[in-house]
Amino acid sequence: MISTTSSTAEMVTQSKIQISAPDNIEDKSSGRLGCCGWLLVVISLIFVTVTFPLTIFCIVNEYERAVIFRLGRIVDKKPKGPGLFFVLPCTDTFTKVDLRTISFDIPPQEILTRDSVTVSVDGVVYFRVQCPISAVANVSNAPSSTRLLAQTTLRNVLGTKNLAELLSDREGISRSMQESLDEATDPWGIRVERVEIKDVKLPHQLQRAMAAEAEASREARAKVIAAEGEMKASRALKEASLVIAESPSALQLRYLQTLSTIATEKNSTIVFPLPIDIMQSFIKG
């Protein structure tokens, strides 16, 4: 029994070694050009020697980088540029990548908020290519993919907010969208620099309802302020009456002051009030 078990284990081990060996050989040979590849490289060098220097130099601008493919593989795993760089005419192809910041508008999106209100929201996104190799090798069209992802991210983020948060916390929503987009586009070599919410369009019925609510709130505050003013005025009149009651001559001075105020307005008729105390002396007589 022991010998049978050991022989079975040896057979399983040998089979694992036989299965894994081609994978290792394939991994080691994946980074090599092979015989045909080297033959094409030699032919390209001969062609370059004949046509030198017309067909081997290319130029990229300061804001661009070139990703060179040699027989389908990226050369040196890093982009070339800016300036002058060397290519083989028969075996090399290259793709230019723009490193400048690109902006695009997010089309208006019909979004249902958390409190079941339908709104239309649009925005703008600013991004740039951070890694040209990833932008070429990991995604087919990096700008177009970023645009589509921005639309879905806008829907997902705003779907978790209610209407009050959407109208008052735009900076927090923009920051949350930027973090989500930056994390999702990092494997593509894209860096999202800024996201802004441009406009939030509400239904007309909701706009009228919100306007009526705001108007009612303003009227209520105005009534409260007017009532507080009346209360303060009544307290002031009470204090003034107490002062006048202590000094009867103050009331006469107040009469004269009122008369002078009326006289300055050029009125043809002047009504002058007489104190009751003066009239009582004539009544008694």
Q: Does 234 map to a domain?
A: yes
If asked whether residues 128 and 189 sit together in one domain, one would say yes
Q: Is 99:33 a contact under the CB 8 Å cutoff?
A: no
**pLDDT values of the chain reduced to their tens digit, one per residue, 285 residues:** 333 334 433 443 444 334 333 343 334 444 455 677 677 767 776 766 666 665 567 889 999 999 999 888 888 888 988 888 878 777 788 999 999 999 999 999 988 888 888 899 999 999 999 999 999 999 989 999 999 999 999 999 998 898 888 888 889 999 999 999 999 999 999 999 999 998 888 888 887 888 888 888 888 999 999 999 989 988 888 888 787 777 777 777 777 777 777 777 666 666 666 666 656 655 665
Q: How far apart are the C-alpha atoms of 103 and 147, rounded to whole Å?
A: 10
How many domains does the chain divide into?
3
Report the pLDDT value the prediction gives residue 246, as an integer from 0 to 100: 78
Alpha carbon 89 to chain centroid, angstroms = 45
Residue type, 159: G
Q: Is residue 220 part of a domain?
A: yes
Given 68, 97, 126, the domain boundary residue is 97
State the pLDDT at residue 242.
81
Written as six digits, the tokens of 255 are 């009469």
Q: Closest Cα partner for 105 from 128, 126, 130, 129? A: 126
123 belongs to a structural domain: yes
Q: Which domain holds residue 244?
A: 208-284
Q: How many CB atoms lie within 10 A of CB 33?
A: 16
- Tell me which of 148, 169, 202 is where a domain ends: 202
Q: 188 near 137, Cβ under 8 Å?
A: no
Same domain, 59 and 118: no
Whether residues 128 and 87 share a domain: the answer is no
pTM, full prediction: 0.61
Residue 247 included in any domain? yes
* Alpha-carbon 39 to chain mean position: 53
* Residue where one domain finishes, among candidates 202, 219, 249: 202
- Whether residue 224 is found in the same domain as residue 266: yes
Alpha helices in 189-275 (DSSP H): 204-246, 248-263
| pLDDT for res 281 | 57
| Encoded tokens for 64 | 């661009």
Residue with tokens 């908020």: 113
Residue 205 burial class via C-beta count within 10 angstroms: exposed 0-12, middle 13-18, buried 19 and up: exposed
Secondary structure, 3-state, 261-282: HHHCCCCCCCCCCCCHHHHHHH
In a domain, 164, yes or no: yes
**Statement to judge: residues 159 and 195 lie in one domain:** yes
- CATH number of the domain where residue 184 is located: 3.30.479.30
**pLDDT of res. 12:** 37
Looking at residue 99, its amino acid is L
* Whether 125 contacts 103, CB under 8 Å: yes
